[in-house]
């Protein structure tokens, strides 16, 4: 589904699209997830994306602008039955949000105990019967703390890769 949606978006956005990656819970094997694809998109120009907002609406996207995060463009798509199918988080290429999202995704993929702890937190919230806002609020502090561990891990990975590349040159 991600690949199909990436191709559909690319056909609408054209050369403005730099990169589109699968993020979120459905991108982490074994993690409990709602059946909604999250896509992280890099574009060359937010203004060009904004200029296509009406066209994107006409072809089935909800174009919601920044939607609470400065520098983001948030789009959604629904299945024919009205259930949510896709969230798109578009940022200008090079935005710091890319690193943060990738670090979190890759950390969960590499640390199965952390993945399982996150799954347990999510399931506890679902079982408690909270609404969507309560669900997001309920996991916020947990996610922020895990994100900090993920960023530290990603920095260590990058440092190790750089050190390895340097030692190979010597």
Q: Does the structure show a pLDDT above 70 at 96?
A: yes
108 and 141 in a single domain? The answer is yes
Residue 136 lies in a domain: yes
The last residue of one of the domains, among 65, 94, 123, is: 94
State the average pLDDT for the chain: 91
Do 83 and 14 lie in one domain? The reply is: yes
Q: What percent of the chain has pLDDT over 70?
A: 94
- List the structure tokens of 43: 């574009």
Residues 45 and 71 grouped into a single domain: yes
* Residue ending a domain, choose from 40, 72, 94: 94
Q: Which helix (H) or strand (E) holds 90?
A: strand 84-92
Tell me the backbone φ, ψ of residue 82, rounded to 5 degrees: 95, -10
The answer on 100 and 67 residing in a single domain is no
3-state secondary structure of 94: coil
Instruction: Select from 94, 129, 153 the last residue of a domain.
Output: 94
Pairing of strands 84-92, 72-78: antiparallel
The pLDDT tens digits of the residues spanning 37-51 come to 999 999 999 999 999
pLDDT of residue 162: 60
Q: Residue range 22-38: average pLDDT?
A: 94
Average pLDDT over residues 16-27: 95
Q: What are the CA-CA distances from residue 123 to residues 8, 103, 110, 150, 162 (Å)?
A: 32, 22, 21, 21, 38
Distance between CA atoms of 26 and 22, rounded to whole angstroms? 8
pLDDT tier at 169, thresholds 50, 70, 90: very low
Evaluate whether residue 135 is within a structural domain. yes
61 and 128 fall within a common domain: no
Residues 103, 85 share a domain: no
**158 and 126 together in one domain:** yes
Residues 109 and 63 in one domain: no
Shared domain for 12 and 74, answered yes or no, is: yes
Q: What is the pTM of this model?
A: 0.84
> Alpha carbon of 142 to those of 20, 39, 113, 136, 163: distances in Å?
26, 22, 14, 10, 32
| CA gap 26, 64 in Å, rounded | 22
- Residue 170 domain-assigned (yes or no): no
Q: How far is 90 from 23, CA to CA, in rounded Å? A: 12
Containing structural domain, residue 58: 1-94
Instruction: Tell me how many domains the chain contains.
Output: 2
How confident is the model over 56-87, as pLDDT tens digits? Answer: 999 899 999 999 999 999 999 999 999 999 99
pLDDT of residue 166: 44
pLDDT at 164: 55
8 A C-beta contact, residue 89 and residue 39: yes
């Amino acid at each position: 589904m991600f690949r199909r949606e990436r191709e559909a978006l690319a056909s609408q956005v054209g050369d403005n699209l730099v990169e589109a990656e699968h993020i979120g819970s459905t991108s982490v094997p074994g993690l409990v997830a709602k059946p909604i694809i999250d896509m992280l998109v890099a574009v060359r120009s937010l203004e060009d994306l904004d200029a296509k907002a009406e066209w994107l609406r006409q072809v089935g996207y909800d174009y919601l602008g920044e939607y609470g995060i400065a520098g983001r463009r948030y789009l959604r798509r629904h299945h024919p039955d009205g259930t949510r199918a896709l969230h798109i988080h578009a940022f200008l290429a090079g935005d710091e949000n890319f690193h943060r999202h990738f670090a979190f995704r890759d950390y969960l993929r590499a640390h199965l105990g952390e993945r399982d702890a996150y799954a347990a937190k999510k399931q506890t919230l679902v079982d408690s019967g909270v609404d969507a806002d309560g669900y997001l609020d309920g996991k916020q502090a947990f996610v922020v703390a895990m994100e900090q561990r993920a960023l530290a891990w990603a920095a260590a990975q990058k440092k190790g890769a750089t050190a390895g590349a340097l030692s190979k040159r010597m």
